[in-house]
Amino acid sequence: MHVVVPYRVSDPKTRLAPVCSPAERETLSRAMLADVLDAVAGAGHDPTVLATEPFDIPDGASASVEVDDRPLSVAVNAVLCDRVERDSPVAVVMGDLALATPAALSDLFTTDGAVVFAPGRGGGTNAFVARHPEFRTDYHGASYRDHRRICADVGVTPRTVDSYRLGTDVDAPADLVEVLLHASENGRTRRFLAERFSLATGDGRVTVERRE
Candidates 24-32, 64-72, 84-92, 196-204: pick the segment binding a second copy (CB under 8 A): 196-204
- CB contact at 8 A, 83 and 59: no
**From the list 34, 39, 79, 166, which residue makes contact with a second copy (rule: CB under 8 A)?**
166
Does 165 engage in binding with a second copy (CB under 8 A)?
A: yes
| Residue placing its CB nearer to a second copy in the complex, 79 or 100 | 100
Does 117 engage in binding with a second copy (CB under 8 A)?
A: no
Number of residues interacting with a second copy: please give it, by CB under 8 A.
28
**From the list 54, 141, 155, 195, which residue makes contact with a second copy (rule: CB under 8 A)?**
141
Does 199 engage in binding with a second copy (CB under 8 A)?
A: yes
Does 164 engage in binding with a second copy (CB under 8 A)?
A: yes
Q: How many CB atoms lie within 10 A of CB 21?
A: 10
What does the alpha-carbon distance between residue 76 and residue 98 come to, in Å, rounded to a whole number? 21
| Residue placing its CB nearer to a second copy in the complex, 103 or 154 | 103
Does 19 engage in binding with a second copy (CB under 8 A)?
A: no
- Write phi, then psi, for 209 (nearest 5 degrees): -135, 150
Does 162 engage in binding with a second copy (CB under 8 A)?
A: yes
Could you say which DSSP state residue 57 is in?
A: P
Q: What one-letter code names the amino acid at 118?
A: A
Count CA atoms within 13 Å of residue 78 on its CB side.
Answer: 11
- CB contact at 8 A, 170 and 187: no
